[in-house]
Structures are given as structure tokens and as C-alpha cells.
Chain A
Amino acid sequence: MNPVVRWFHQLGSPPYFDRFASRWAPWAYVLGLLMMAWGLYGALFVVPADYQQGDSFRILYIHVPSAWMSMAIFALMALYSAIALIWRIKLCEILAMACAPAGAAFTLITLLTGSIWGKPMWGTWWDWDPRLTTELILLFLYLGVIGLYNAIDDRRAAARAAGLLAIVGVALLPVIHYSVTWWNSLHQGQTISLFGKSHMDASMLPPLWWMVAGTHVWFVGSLLSRARADNLRRESGKDWVARLAGATQ
């Protein structure tokens, strides 16, 4: 059998995933934190102040990566849920549900940092603007997924029901992404682009990419350790968990 395919099948087994996650989660955490620290250093000390906004634009280095993560994690959660619903892979149910708390946290950070930035720049903490509203709805959707997952007793049925909600909610993602283009919005349009030319000065970009990469890697660590915990809880009756916990027969 092809080693990659074999590894993929092995990863679906709870004990193997537990070993995999416990080996890699700390690395992802450390690497992600280092990248974010380097990015933050660049953002706070290296990058020059904006000619219009002064120093307050620097909050963008937290706001933009977490906004991207809030949407990317929702898409990932819906993808895992779809895989779990179609192929009934138990690990994907666990991974999908492990996405939700981190995604909700990133959404909350996005809203809070945007609000803090909005007070001096727009003169208001909050405005019922399409992008702000849709991001707030995204937070409620995350909370709904978490709430539904916790409300149903049977873990597998709970994960599948919450996953279905995530798939239904994914219809909102394009609306958030294009909200600044479709409606007149207080929020600025897209200024940063991965492939095309960004409308930001090149000297301001490297810390942003470090932050974006750092949040992604940190999220992998968070996903692995959350999924590992849920996996252990579900398998708590099994022998291998008892051995792992050091129980004597």
C-alpha cells in the first residue's frame, strides 16, 4: 500500500491519532508562538507609522490574521463535517468540533480589535455595517455549533448535528467576504492580496505574513490538542486509554 494512503488510514485510528497529536501539538504551539512573536516585534518596532493613522494602524497585525482565521476555520469545520457526514470518519467529527472554540475565539478577537481600532478612526465602537454585522453573525453561528454539540447526549449524533449546522452556516462565508464589495460599507475594501499587488506599502507586509503564518501554525496545535482531549474522552472506556493513564490491570 502507498505509504501516504496507509498513514492516512492509520491516522483514523484513535490510539494512533493520540500519539500523533501528542507528538506534534507542542511543536505547533512553540513554532506558532515564535512566528507570532517575531511578527509582533516587526509590527510594533520595525514597521514605520502610517502617514494617516499614525500608530493605531498597528492593531491590523492582529485584526487581519484573526479575521482570516475566523473564516478559514469555519470553512475547515464545514469541510471536516462534510467528510464526517459522508464517509462517517469518527476522527473528522472530532476534528470538526475541535475547530469551533478556536474559531469562536478568533472571531471574538476580530470583533474586539476592530472595535478598539474603530473608536479613534471612525469615532464609534460599533456600527451596523455589513461586514461587522456578518462577522457578529459568524460568532453566533460558532456559538450555535458549540451549543448544539454540548446539548445532545450522544457524542456522535451531537457531532453530526452540529456539523450539519456548520455546513448550513457556510453559506454565510461568501457574504462576509464580499460584504465590503456588495454594499456601501464603512469598513475598507480589500487592501492585501496574496497573489496580486497589495495596496499596502511593501515595508508593512512582512510582519503581517509572519502573523498570518503564526496564527495558522498555532491553530494546528490548538486543533490537535483539543481533538486529542475529545478523542480521549470518547475512548475513555478503552484499554489503551487506561494504559496511557498509567492504570494497572
Chain B
Amino acid sequence: MMMSAARALLARDLRMLWRRRGDALQPALFALLVVVLFALALGAEPQALAKVAPAVLWLAVLLAGLLALDTLFRGDAEDGSLEQWMLAPVPLWWLVLVRTFMHWASSALPLLVATPFLGELLHLPHDQLPVLLASLALGTPLLSLIGAVVAALTVGMRRSGILVALLALPLYVPVLVFGAGSVAAWAQGLDSTGALLLLGAGLVVALVLAPLAAAAAIRIALS
């Protein structure tokens, strides 16, 4: 039952994604623009860029994800699908989890694929790339799960605007600190596994708790 519901939701989301192919590329395009802006503002000096490259890439990914948050539940709230989710025989948190996974796969995964390319733009030292990719692979699902709670809290509002950023960014800070921190530690010749393990632990906790919190928030918003 739960698997077939997940399959149906995934198939629907994939079809929607395909019909609006242009929208799906927006987060990646936004991240590219952020990287370009940083590079131009910092003066395009290779050494200076290489030093801040991991932090800039983390910020670009984080901001692109923040921008994409609003679309997580908004369409379904407007056309009434979210009410049907609540009435569905499968638990609401399961559908939230599937949707969040789909959202991560469509907004963060392209960025992960593009990270080596964006890294080249910033002269990211090649030995830092694996650590950066590992921290992003662990960190972006965590950002998506935390973001799902925030998106669910603001789903009842017609215009959420800056509020989403105000709610999400403080909760994103620990992820950013450990994500960018792991690469910074590696760049200084220190061990980065500690920060990566903490990110992994956070991901496991969020996988269990965030869908429940987001489901509760949806029930509040639509009650």
C-alpha cells in the first residue's frame, strides 16, 4: 500500500517535472549565477577564489534550495491535492517524505552533478572536491528535510516571501557550519570525518522526525 502510493506520487511528480522542464533547471541556474557573482565580487583572483570556493559553493547550493522551497507543497495546497493527502489511507508523513525526496532529487541532485563544474569556475583545489561532494551529498537531503518543515508551516499563507528565509536559515546554520567546516578542516590538513559523521547523524534524525513535524504542520495549516 505504502509502496504503491509512493510509486504513484513519484510517477506523477516526474511527469509534472517533465512537462515543465525549464523550471527544473532554475535552481542550478541560480546557483551558477551566485557563483558567478561571488567570483566577480571577489576580484577573480585564483588564489583568493580557491580559498573561499567550498564556502561559496555551499552557500550557492543552500540559497538555491531555499529558493526552491516554496514550490514543495504550494502547488498541491492550491489545487487541493494536499487535502486528498490527508484523507489518503497511507500516513501523511510518508507522502511528505516521498515528496521531499522527489524535491531533493529534482533541485539538489542536479546541483551535486554540477558541483565539479562550478568548482572549476572558482578554482576549487581538486583534492577538496571529494570531501565537498560527500558533505553536499549528506547535507542537501538534510536541508531539504528541514526545509520541508518550514514549507509546511507556511503553506497556508498566500504569500510567504521573506518569512520562509527567516524561518529556514537559522535552522540551516548547523548544517552549513558542519558542511562547509568539513571541507575547511580538510583544506587545513585536518580530519574531516567528524563533521561528515555529524552531518550523517543529523540526516538520520531528520529522516525520522522531519516528515512527522512537516505532516503536523500541514494538518495545522489546512485545519
Interface residues of A (CB under 8 A from B): 85, 133, 137, 140-141, 143-144, 147-148, 151-152, 157, 160-161, 164-165, 167-169, 172, 175
Contact status B149-A168, CB under 8 Å: yes
Contact residues in B for A85 (Cβ distance below 8 Å): 216
Contact residues in B for A152 (Cβ distance below 8 Å): 156-157
Of B149, B173, B213, B216, which contacts A137 at CB under 8 A?
B173
Of A143, A164, A175, which contacts B153 at CB under 8 A?
A164
Bound-complex Cα distance A77 to B170 (A): 18
30 contacts between A and B (CB under 8 A): A137-B170, A140-B166, A141-B170, A141-B171, A143-B166, A144-B166, A147-B163, A147-B166, A148-B153, A148-B154, A148-B163, A148-B167, A151-B157, A151-B160, A151-B163, A157-B156, A157-B220, A161-B153, A161-B156, A164-B149, A164-B153, A164-B216, A164-B220, A165-B153, A165-B167, A168-B171, A168-B213, A169-B170, A169-B171, A172-B174
Interface code B148-178, partner A: CB below 8 Å = 1, 0 otherwise? 0100011011001001001101110110010
Contact residues in A for B171 (Cβ distance below 8 Å): 141, 168-169
Bound-complex Cα distance A143 to B163 (A): 10
Question: A-side binding surface: helix, strand, loop or mixed?
Answer: helix
Q: Tell me the nearest residue of chain B to A167, going by C-beta.
A: B213
Bound-complex Cα distance A151 to B177 (A): 29
Q: Tell me the nearest residue of chain A to B167, going by C-beta.
A: A144
Bound-complex Cα distance A140 to B166 (A): 7
Q: Does B188 count as interface, using CB distance less than 8 angstroms?
A: no
Contact residues in A for B170 (Cβ distance below 8 Å): 137, 140-141, 144, 169
Q: Tell me, rounded to whole Å, the shortest Cβ–Cβ distance linking A13 to chain B.
A: 23
Bound-complex Cα distance A78 to B92 (A): 23
Contact status A164-B157, CB under 8 Å: no
Interface code B8-37, partner A: CB below 8 Å = 1, 0 otherwise? 000000000000000000000000000000
Contact status A133-B166, CB under 8 Å: no
Interface residues of B (CB under 8 A from A): 149, 153-154, 156-157, 160, 163, 166-167, 169-171, 173-174, 177, 213, 216-217, 220-221, 223
Q: Tell me the nearest residue of chain A to B158, going by C-beta.
A: A153
Of B167, B169, B220, which contacts A160 at CB under 8 A?
B220
Q: Tell me, rounded to whole Å, the shortest Cβ–Cβ distance linking A173 to chain B.
A: 13
Ranked nearest first, the 3 interchain pairs of A and B with the lowest CB-CB distance are: A140-B170, A144-B167, A160-B220
Contact residues in B for A161 (Cβ distance below 8 Å): 153, 156, 217, 220-221
Find the residue from B170, B171, B174, B217 having the highest chain A CB count within 10 A: B170
Bound-complex Cα distance A50 to B112 (A): 54
Q: Tell me, rounded to whole Å, the shortest Cβ–Cβ distance linking A47 to chain B.
A: 36
Bound-complex Cα distance A169 to B221 (A): 19
Q: Tell me the nearest residue of chain A to B216, going by C-beta.
A: A164
Q: Tell me, rounded to whole Å, the shortest Cβ–Cβ distance linking A86 to chain B.
A: 11
Q: Tell me, rounded to whole Å, the shortest Cβ–Cβ distance linking B31 to chain A.
A: 24
Contact residues in A for B154 (Cβ distance below 8 Å): 148, 151
Bound-complex Cα distance A85 to B215 (A): 13
Bound-complex Cα distance A147 to B164 (A): 10
Contact status B221-A157, CB under 8 Å: yes
Q: Tell me, rounded to whole Å, the shortest Cβ–Cβ distance linking B21 to chain A.
A: 33
Contact residues in A for B160 (Cβ distance below 8 Å): 151
Bound-complex Cα distance A92 to B220 (A): 16
Contact residues in A for B156 (Cβ distance below 8 Å): 152, 157, 161
